[in-house]
Amino acid sequence: MEIKAQSKYVKTTPRKLRLVAKAVSKMQPMEALTALSFLSKDAAMPLSKTIKSAVANAKNQGITDDSLKFLKIEIGEGPTLKRGRAVSRGSWHAILKRTSHITVVLEKVEAQAPKIENPKAQKTAEVKIENTADENKEKEQK
């Protein structure tokens, strides 16, 4: 099951957002929110808002925080605002104010039941290891 959240027209360049998104994409969403709160990048705030929104969407569907992981964090380019600055000789230098679109997709991770090992199988494995150690000692003595 996929849970999606989007933020559009974020007034931060995609390059800056991708740097932050790459840092947290391998974490669990709740770990990523904690890491983003301590990150000294301004791009961390809009990304954390989008992740919080995705986690809230998951809670509305009855999915717990612990059973979520990132499927993808996508940072796309939004429209660029063209501004300018007057310079000497009647010239004009362009100032491009870039915007971004953030898409966070979470997926539910199925919890695996822990394996219960057969105690007899464990004892036989230990016995086999001890036997091979004894055989090695006998070979060394010969």
| CATH number of the structural domain spanning residue 14 | 3.90.470.10
Q: How confident is the model at residue 104 (pLDDT cuts 50, 70, 90)?
A: very high
Please give the residue range of the domain that contains residue 88: 2-114
Residue 125 lies in a domain: no
Q: pLDDT at residue 123 above 60?
A: no
pLDDT of residue 111: 67
Q: pLDDT at residue 28 above 70?
A: yes
Residue 47 lies in a domain: yes
Quote the number of domains for the chain: 1
| Measured distance CA(17)–CA(41) in Å, rounded | 9
User: What share of the chain has pLDDT > 70, as a percent?
Assistant: 77
Residue 133 lies in a domain: no
Task: Decide which of 96 and 113 is more confident.
Answer: 96
pLDDT (mean) for 40-55? 96
Residue 24 lies in a domain: yes
Residue 83 lies in a domain: yes
